[in-house]
Chains A and B, each alone.
Chain A
Amino acid sequence: MTSTRIRFAVSGLAIIGLLSVSRARAQDKVAAVGDKAPAFSLPDHTGKTVSLADFKDKIVILEWWNEGCPYCLRHARNGTMKAIAAKYQPKDVVWLAINSTNGSSNQSNAQCVERFELNYPILNDSAGSVGRRYGAKTTPHLFIIDRQGVLAYSGAIDDDSEGRKDNDTNYVTNALDELLAGKSVTVNQTKPYGCSVKYAR
């Protein structure tokens, strides 16, 4: 019957439509070094909305953070990230920590900012969508976005995962120095170390 055929045709189109949408979502590929850095808008630990677009024409550093991870705690106690953030802030470099831990909150992030006297905000990505877009694997996983909004570095903060070296190589400060000198980043990707990001299912 004509009406049944039309109904099946419409259902078929609807199913194809759904498949196309789900395929498109699966193809929201993880940003790679050299790609435009994915846009985001997340609340910081005070509840204020912070967007990547707020920092157009600045160099932005994203640090994936989780207070349940000993690697983050060691750097927080040593003030590693704070020192870099403070040193480069006068050169228009913005440091943002992002917490993609399932169950984290603005309140728990605020407690960490206070406890470690951080000079940068912690953004709440407890749903994990920004972390997944960036392909954040560990805490800490560092990303650097250059002034053109392109992902210029992805990887570890340094080559000293266990904190044993007297003289470690800091990949982030090396990359920043190159970008600030108008050069491209030589070592633009390293294997990040730390605990796995504890994403929601």
Chain B
Amino acid sequence: MTRSIFVCGVLAVLTSALPAQAAEPKPVDAQVLADTRSIAPGQPFTLGVLLKIASGWHIYWKNPGDAGAPTEIRLDLPRGFVASDLRWPVPTKFTQPGDIVGYGYENAVLLTATITPPKDLQVGQSIDLSAQVHWLSCRDVCIPGDATLRLSLPVAGRSTPANSDTFNHWRSRLPLEAASPQSPVTASVTGSIGSDFTITLQSQFPLRHLEWFPAPEPALEVSDTAINTAGPQPVIRFKARPLGGQKLLNHSFESVAAFSTPSGQRQGIRITVPLKSAASQDKPN
């Protein structure tokens, strides 16, 4: 008879008793980058956290889907520095057995924010920036990860480009605002809580492999999503309702429609879905 050495899951033993470096796989490597070698007073630059993910593993988008946990970045910046919201490249959808849908990233992702330094910054000093990153990486098991990443940049009269290839590559993978003039695809949204919502897309070219990624607040359940590309305009239908007994905080939610262009490039557009109830036209509840 084989004697089992499997004590309630290998992870249970490792995470409680042994130092973090022992034997536990580390599927994610995190590093912090800036798109400039130096900071100029008042001149915005881009800070990015590059996450490299081992084959077969994934980490999650700001809405992880049915399970998982969003990747989180907390920036620690000196006084007077302002950071924009985090920008998320177009995610990938993965469906696991049991109809469990996840939204996230495989292989790698660069999450960025625009940092605006104060105008009265003294040239010649060095600025320390840090990013606390937290993620959940999953394959057949899930392993949480944390990293504190630091970057020092000198303050000079002007900025000088750095890591351009990396930042350009990932900038092209950011979704465009559907209503912006640069967007090749526009969207019109109808519907209300308690009835069906529809997003109708207008596009200059056929949208292949159309996918839709909603990012509702946790109390809002988005369900029954159906994507129809058979007609002249692609239509995304779905239902949205507050989960039993919960109040909504927001009057709308954000979503991303992702598609492949005729040249095979994956692009996305951000679509805001206003929430009105069928009874009341201007309040979610």
Interface set of A (CB-CB < 8 Å, partner B):
33, 67-70, 73, 76-77, 100, 102, 107-108, 111-112, 114-116, 128, 131-132, 136-138, 155, 161-162, 185-201
Contact between B8 and A189 (Cβ–Cβ < 8 Å)?
no
Known A138-B67, A196-B68; contact A68-B142, beta-carbon cutoff 8 A: yes
Tell me the B115-138 residues at the A interface (CB within 8 Å): 134, 136, 138
Contact between B245 and A108 (Cβ–Cβ < 8 Å)?
no
Identify whether the interface residues of A are mostly helix, strand, loop, or mixed: loop
Known A70-B144, A108-B8; contact A128-B97, beta-carbon cutoff 8 A: yes
Known A68-B11, A196-B66; contact A201-B97, beta-carbon cutoff 8 A: yes
CA gap between A123 and B142 in the complex, in Å: 21
CA gap between A199 and B98 in the complex, in Å: 6
Pick the residue among A33, A111, A137, A185 that contacts B100 (CB under 8 A): A137
Greatest chain B CB density within 10 A among A114, A116, A136, A199 is at A199
Pick the residue among A77, A132, A137, A155 that contacts B243 (CB under 8 A): A155
Residue B262 is within 8 A (CB to CB) of chain A in the complex? no
Contact between A187 and B138 (Cβ–Cβ < 8 Å)?
no
Contact between B246 and A190 (Cβ–Cβ < 8 Å)?
yes
Contact between A191 and B142 (Cβ–Cβ < 8 Å)?
no
Known A107-B4, A195-B68; contact A33-B142, beta-carbon cutoff 8 A: no
Contact between A70 and B15 (Cβ–Cβ < 8 Å)?
yes
Contact between A186 and B245 (Cβ–Cβ < 8 Å)?
yes
Closest to A111 in B: B8
Contact between B140 and A67 (Cβ–Cβ < 8 Å)?
no
Contact between B97 and A199 (Cβ–Cβ < 8 Å)?
yes
Greatest chain B CB density within 10 A among A162, A189, A196, A197 is at A196
Pick the residue among B16, B67, B245 that contacts A77 (CB under 8 A): B16
Contact between A112 and B140 (Cβ–Cβ < 8 Å)?
no
Pick the residue among B100, B221, B243, B246 that contacts A196 (CB under 8 A): B100
14 A–B pairs (Cβ distance < 8 Å), ordered by A = A68-B141, A70-B144, A73-B9, A136-B98, A137-B66, A138-B66, A189-B221, A189-B246, A191-B218, A195-B138, A195-B142, A197-B100, A199-B97, A199-B100
Contact between B67 and A187 (Cβ–Cβ < 8 Å)?
no
Q: What's the least CB distance linking A187 to chain B, in Å?
A: 4
CA gap between A195 and B11 in the complex, in Å: 14
Pick the residue among A77, A108, A200 that contacts B9 (CB under 8 A): A108
Would you give the 0/1 interface string for B128-170, flagging 1 where the beta carbon is closer than 8 Å to chain A?
0000001010101111100000000000000000000000000
CA gap between A131 and B66 in the complex, in Å: 14
Contact between A191 and B96 (Cβ–Cβ < 8 Å)?
no
CA gap between A199 and B6 in the complex, in Å: 20
Q: What's the least CB distance linking B23 to chain A, in Å?
A: 15
Q: Which 6 A-B pairs have the closest CB atoms?
A: A67-B9, A196-B67, A189-B244, A68-B141, A199-B98, A188-B244
